[in-house]
Amino acid sequence: MADRPYLDPSNSNFHPSISQRDYQSFAAEPSVEDNDSSPSTPLSPPVISIRGNARDPQSISRLTSGERLVNGKVAIPRLDLPVASHNSRVSRACHNCRKQKNKCTGDRPSCLRCQEINVPCVYVDGKRERSAKHLTVVTSQLEHYESLVRDIYPKFDLEMAKIVDQALGKISSLSISSPTVASIPDDTPTPTTPIVSCLDHTLEDYNGDGSLQALGFVGEHSATKWLYRLKQWVGPTILNTSNQFDQPTGPSLSSCCFFLDDTAPLLANGPDLFAYPAQAVADELVDRYFQMVHPSFPIIGKEIFLGQCRSFYSSSMTQPGNKWMALLNMVFAIAAKHSEFSGDQHRLDHNNHTVYFSRAWQLSMNNNAILEHPNLQTTQIEGLISFYLLSTGQVNRSWRICGFAIQSAVTMGIHLRSEGTRITHVSKETRYRLWWGLYLLDTLLCVMTGRMPRMQPEHCATPLPVPYTEESFRDERVMMVIQDNQARVNLMNSLLSHDSSNEPTERSKHSTTHQPTSQQHSPSQHSQAHVSLYLLYSIDLAAVMREAMEILYSPGGARKSGNETEQAMKSLNNTADNWFSRLSATYRLTENETDRIVARQRTSLAFQYYSTKLVITQPALRAHVSGDNPLNAVYHQLATVCINAAAQMVDLLPDDPSITWFMEFSPWWCALHYLTQSIIVLITQLLFESKSRANPNSKPFERVQKALRWLTECSTRDLSFKRAWENFTNLLSSQGINAV
């Protein structure tokens, strides 16, 4: 019998694909033993067995010398493969060994098996390694994109900024739950808590405390809460370096209020509900109302109302309803309040504003008024009552009644564009202006009380008011704009987005007076100052204020990171500055306008503009002076913007206090609110940036003195101003500063 060839790797019959694992599985089969009891039976071919140590030199020598093993088995040694340098499992096998399922030695640059069979040895990343590398690349890209978004964030408009805020919020939530996502690098330390941390809870018991019930909830963007926080900080623990703003100890919130909600509105006893003043007095009161109030809050239609008044006084047979009489008395009450503050009440008659208000209240707010379905006059009465309460210092009550007016307007669909064919275009425009008048009133009251706006833009489709006076509504060209919604939208966009630097000079304006009709709607021509253009600018700026309240002061804003709040403040501040850059040259604050109406409107827009910037940047001022981020340059810059806005607001006032100027040119119904905002910021600068040592020659100190002089002058006519003056002088006196 021929000898079985020895399986050696050098033999030509050896196939390299047969692995060591194949030999092991083959050798694991049971061996067949020879039958020595039957010598006549030829020997069976020896079965390959690799039991034992085939690498034993003695076994190999016995095998090569032809020695037969016991039990007739022939020991076939294992393949003489290279011995690995270690028996432990390698972390990564080469591509060939992994493909053939061989045990790889893991040597670099080539494993021993690949060296033996002379094939290229390549190590590739495993599934985990590839996933880790991919995650690293994605994380790096995410960091780069987010850094880019943060760099260009201030250039976004408000709508885009809101979308970006939502996206960054999702990324932040992923970063919290996934430790593999790296945080966004920043040059300055980012606080782990929001700047404003008191927004999502209250400490006061508004149900059990009567004084707090009169005040109502006061949010963080209210000047009352600013004064409250400032009093807490400059209390006995002023030398404490910890942030005192969020501590519950200190003065009571009600002690910081300067409005008159804790006193009941004055109502006359038993007035003759259907009495009315003489026509001369009525004409003066109505004219005063439409000059001083109507341009800012067009709650009633001017031309329609004036026509009804003429009809009422010219015909003794006219019998108007209770609601129209209530509307007439509310116009009288507001005008009489302005007249009383101005000091010329004797020019009218013996009736004061409380008599007119009492008549209107009893005519409109009877026992069943809350159960009645609202109509247009109901909404107008509620809006005028809200404004009257605001002008008399009843801010909390005014806010509630304004809510009634908004609900009545929504009930009648005034918050939507009207496509009804049975409604005249004048009536449509009157309703649009009513809605925007309530919009402005609600925005102002929400800032004064620190509460959230109630009119959401996404739920409103009322067109902006056309930039024409109400006397021109029956003009054919104006009618075309009112009735054509697309023409209205195009006109509004051109007015609110044009660059005022491109406006024509005074000479070119005169040279283009008689242009063709097709060119009469250019932005430069509509930039001529009149009531409706002023209203358009005011609505546009109020939208910025509402965005600031919702982004910076809502409970959701309290959960934003410091970096997100910083970017939001920068974006909102840029938006306010963009609004100012689009103003017509007529409304520029540097213009010396001789026209009384234009001067009044320009001053009102200036107060509204600086107030908006104060609300936007006040969180940065708080964070800066409290030492939350002493190295953050952005907070320092925004705090400077806040201080400058307060200084410029005080500079709007003449150096010598004059109630006549105050009632003629300022927004007298909320001027105290604007003054308190600026004074609180200036006192903050005075106390904290000057190390609590006031310099008598410093500009902040001079401005505080000037503002206090104005409060003193107005205190003789309004108790609210006296309360504010006492609050500020007591605060300064407690710090050893005499600013009187």
pTM: 0.71
Q: Which residue has the higher pLDDT, 87 or 318?
A: 318
Please give the Cα distance from 608 to 618 (Å, whole number).
Answer: 15
Same domain, 305 and 164: no
Residue 204 lies in a domain: no
Q: Say yes or no: 417 and 353 in one domain.
A: yes
Cis bond upstream, residue 109 (ω within 30): yes
Q: How confident is the model at residue 183 (pLDDT cuts 50, 70, 90)?
A: very low
* Single-letter amino acid, residue 676: T
Q: Is the pLDDT of residue 713 over 50?
A: yes
Residue 688: pLDDT band with limits 50, 70, 90? confident
Query: Same domain for 142 and 223?
Result: no
Express as a percent the part of the chain with pLDDT over 70: 71
CB-count exposure of residue 38 (10 Å: 0-12, 13-18, 19+): exposed
| Residue 400 and residue 426 in one domain | yes
Residues 671 and 549 in one domain: yes
The pLDDT value given to residue 161: 67
Of residues 555 and 57, more confidently modeled: 555
Find the range with the poorest average confidence among 96-105, 329-338, 490-499: 490-499
Looking at per-residue pLDDT, the higher value among 737 and 707 belongs to: 707
CB crowding 277-296: b at 16 or more within 10 Å, else e: beeebbebbbebbbbbbbbb
With 80 as the cut, is the pLDDT of residue 51 above it? no
Residue 515 pLDDT greater than 50, yes or no:
no
Look-up: residue for tokens 């309040």? 337
Contacts 24+ apart (CB under 8 A), 236-245: 238/692, 238/735, 241/627, 243/626, 243/627, 243/628, 244/626, 245/198, 245/622, 245/626
**Domain range enclosing 52:** 1-81
The mean per-residue pLDDT over the stretch 98-104 comes to: 83
Residues 285-306: tens digit of each pLDDT: 999 999 999 999 999 999 999 9
Q: Which of 449, 464, 479 is the C-terminal boundary of a domain?
A: 464
Q: Which of 81, 105, 137 is the last residue of a domain?
A: 81
Query: Do residues 456 and 346 share a domain?
Result: yes
pLDDT tops 60 at residue 35: no
Does 545 share its domain with 411?
Answer: no
673 in any annotated domain: yes
User: What pLDDT band is residue 175 in, cutting at 50, 70 and 90?
Assistant: very low
| Highest-confidence segment of 67-76, 203-212, 370-379 | 370-379
DSSP 3-state assignment of 250?
Answer: coil
**CB burial string 42-70: b at 16+ within 10 A, e below:** eeeebbbbbeeebeeeebeeebeeeeeee
Structure confidence at residue 33 (pLDDT): 41
Q: Are residues 246 and 299 in the same domain?
A: no
Regarding predicted confidence, which is higher, 546 or 142? 546
259 shares a domain with 283 = no
Structurally, the chain folds into a number of domains equal to 4
Q: Is 518 inside a domain boundary?
A: no
pLDDT at position 262, please? Answer: 87
- Same domain as 656, residue 580: yes
Q: Does residue 591 sit within a domain? A: yes
Same domain, 547 and 450: no
Closest CA to 495 of 466, 526, 518, 470: 526
Of 35-39, 517-521, 614-618, 631-635, which one has max mean pLDDT?
614-618
pLDDT tens for 585-628 read 888 766 565 678 888 999 999 999 999 999 999 998 988 877 66
Q: Please say whether the beta carbons of 428 and 482 come within 8 A.
A: yes
187 is a domain residue: no
Q: Is the pLDDT of residue 117 over 70?
A: yes
Is residue 533 situated within a structural domain? no
> Do 301 and 170 have their domain in common?
no
The predicted pLDDT at position 30 comes to 44
Domain for residue 504, yes or no?
no
Residue 285 lies in a domain: yes
